[in-house]
Structure 1
Amino acid sequence: MTQPAAGPVHVVAVITGKPGTGDVLEPMLIALAEGTHTEPDCLLYGLQRGLENPDQFTTVEKWTSTDALAAHLSTPHVQTALGSAGEYLAEPPLIIPSLPVAAGDASKSAY
């Protein structure tokens, strides 16, 4: 994250497990979501499991700022999840922070 943002920051994260590890990863990621929901600067944190690849998960997130996202990444529940899940991951999680772009119908392009 090279550009700090004062307003909301959106994140999509992709967590890909090794083949056959989705059922092991899911409870770890649920625990991570539960911990994340307690963070005051978390506006949204949704966990999804892949339809075509059940060993792949995504999160859709919204944070009050880039500082809030950085603080989240250093929380004990994130560090615990990374440590517990590490051996089951096919690759490091892909974390894509972004800023919203006004486009089309605002009621359908904002979350």
Structure 2
Amino acid sequence: MSTSAQSPVVVVASFRPRPEAHDLVRSALRTAAERVHEEPGCELYALHETDGRLVLVEKWSTEGHLDEHGGGDALKELHAAVDSRLLAPAEVLRLSPLPAGRPEAGQL
């Protein structure tokens, strides 16, 4: 699945922290969000929680901006802080929009 260079890109990243590390991982994700919000092209970087999982919903202006984020210091530091505290590696899905219905409600 690919997008054009100028299309927004949505990412969903799911983290399953070890139970004893849940608060630490949540705190690290919140700290990272503050830094990531300042990165070029970041339109959305929102943390959510469900059933012991922490889920980031992201929206980037372009794939290029997302690629820059992927190599940036905030993400490197986040991985260093949380990877050993997860039950499994983070699941990251890079999504391409399939607009439907009203434009303002049919896509992020």
The normalised TM-score by structure 2 is 0.89
1:38-53 correspondence to structure 2 within 5 Å: 38-50=38-50, 52-53=51-52
Contact kept, 8 Å, 2:36 with 2:74, in 1: the verdict is: yes
Find the aligned partners of 2:106 and 2:26 in 1 and give their Cα distance. Answer: 28
Structure 1 residue aligned with 2:34: 34
5+ unaligned residues in a row in structure 1: which ranges? none
Find the aligned partners of 1:108 and 1:65 in 2 and give their Cα distance. Answer: 20
Q: Aligned residue pairs: how many?
A: 107
Aligned to 1:107, the other structure's residue is in SS state coil
Structure 1 residue aligned with 2:4: 5
Query: Aligned letter for 2:68?
Result: A
Find the aligned partners of 2:57 and 2:37 in 1 and give their Cα distance. Answer: 13
Aligned-pair identity (%): 27
1:71 aligns with one of 50, 68, 71: 68
Structure 1 residue aligned with 2:89: 92
Find the aligned partners of 1:74 and 1:38 in 2 and give their Cα distance. Answer: 15
Deviates more, 1:18-27 or 1:34-43: 18-27
Please list the CA deviations of residues 32-56 of structure 1 after superposition, one character each: whole Å capped at 9, or x if unmatched. Answer: 1011001021111111122x22xx1
Call closer, same or farther: CA 1:3–1:104 in 2, change over 3 Å.
closer
The normalised TM-score by structure 1 is 0.87
